A = this chain, B = another copy of it.
Amino acid sequence: MIAFSLDGVDGLARAGTMRTPHGDVQTPAFMPVGTQASVKGLGPDDLRGCGATMILANAYHCYLRPGADVIARAGGLHGFMAWDRPILTDSGGFQIFSLAHLSRVDDYGYHFASHLDGSRHSFTPESVVALQERLGSDVAMVLDDLAPADVDERRAAEAADRTLRWAQRSLAAKTRTDQATFAIVQGSTDERLRRANARALAALDFPGYAIGGLWVGEPRAAGVRTAAATCEELPAAKPRYIMGVGTPEDMLACVAVGVDLFDCVYPTRSARHALALTSHGRLNLRNARFVDDFRPLDDTCDCAACAQFSRAYLAHCFRAGEALGPRMVSVHNVAFMTRLAGDARAAILARRFVDWRRARSEQHRITGAETTNVSNV
């Protein structure tokens, strides 16, 4: 099971510690994403070197390949991946929504065709609890019905209500006491729906709460506003996790309204596209100016990439198609995100989060401004 304690607050921003069977997670924390039980290109040593504490894996992907049976026999995800720190598993609702074919949702659960081979499967709240218990993650997520921003009010309400009923069924289905299950708040960008859904879930006394169904296409301001409203309804003593967020800017915007945990493929996916996150702004290593730039990616960074390689060398690796390029920029970007979360924590504990965030924004173009267009990366 997990225990969460608040170490400090500054305005709505929180610094906490989440104890898990595989160690503590200091929040705010960024979790690198290992969708298929591997954080793309990075091994456990790389991830430890990046300062990652908790990583995320995906129940939908692991269920389809290699299957829960293989992972359970390997000693769960920790044994299978050789990762001895905390792991959170997402339930798969979002992946069915975005990846599976011919998917259909009803009160029973999801019915879908695998994106790998078209085989037919069903996920229910109960089967997803059992699946994640076999995967052995420290934190599991309930199955949720995801309604993005562009649905009508009726569908948004249906999704929120169903997610609430599924959350109750999930609690009833649990058999492991060493795994914490988080509820997921839904309700699209309808503030009234979100608040009601959050309050109803809060009454069920889950050990933690996630905010789902945001950053899936709605305007960024609506996402932050909805996250803020949701946080207001969630119990202060429980960890809050916003799913699929995000960029440096979006993470800090959500820390500012009271979110504790984050995950996103952004640092590793952008790294594979030669984009490095630095304290001086983003660098696109395919730009000609890096061919003979012998500085490290970020002169304030002590990651393995910055300690060893120049921008020129990494840019060469991308141009030459050498896998070391994506890997080392992934190392750097994950280290950047974990350090940014750690710096935010230090600022919260020192009660200077607002000033710190403004200074980051002004000095380094790590900005929370609404004009930031993250889709251009």
Contacts and interface: CB of A to CB of B under 8 A. Distances in A.
Contacts of A65: 316, 319-320
Contacts of A323: 40-41, 323, 326-327
A304 B304 CA distance: 17
Interface string A63-75: 0011001100110
A322 B292 contact: no
A29 B148 CA distance: 59
A275 interface: no
A162 to B, nearest CB: 31
Contacts of A40: 322-324
Interface of A: 36-38, 40-45, 61, 65-66, 69-70, 73-74, 80-82, 291-292, 294, 304, 308-310, 312-313, 315-317, 319-320, 322-324, 326-328
Given A74-B294, A74-B313, 9 more contacts: A38-B317, A65-B319, A66-B291, A66-B312, A66-B315, A66-B316, A66-B319, A81-B313, A323-B323
B70 A292 contact: yes
B80 A312 contact: yes
Contacts of A82: 308-309, 313
Contacts of A317: 38
A303 to B, nearest CB: 12
Contact of A322 (B36, B73, B308): B36
Contacts of A320: 36-38, 61, 65
A279 to B, nearest CB: 22
B36 A70 contact: no
A324 B291 contact: no
19 contacts: A37-B313, A37-B316, A37-B320, A38-B320, A38-B322, A41-B323, A42-B324, A43-B324, A43-B328, A45-B304, A61-B320, A65-B316, A66-B291, A70-B312, A73-B294, A74-B313, A80-B313, A323-B327, A327-B327
Given A80-B313, A81-B313, A313-B82, A43 B308 contact: yes
Contacts of A44: 308
B312 A74 contact: yes
A300 B284 CA distance: 43
A376 B310 CA distance: 40
A310 B43 contact: no
Contacts of A326: 323
Contacts of A42: 324
Contacts of A324: 38, 40-43
Contact of A73 (B66, B292, B327): B292
A113 to B, nearest CB: 18
A36 B294 CA distance: 18
A65 B291 CA distance: 10
Contacts of A309: 82
A328 B313 CA distance: 22
A87 to B, nearest CB: 14
A317 B294 CA distance: 34
Contacts of A61: 320
Contacts of A327: 41, 43, 323, 327
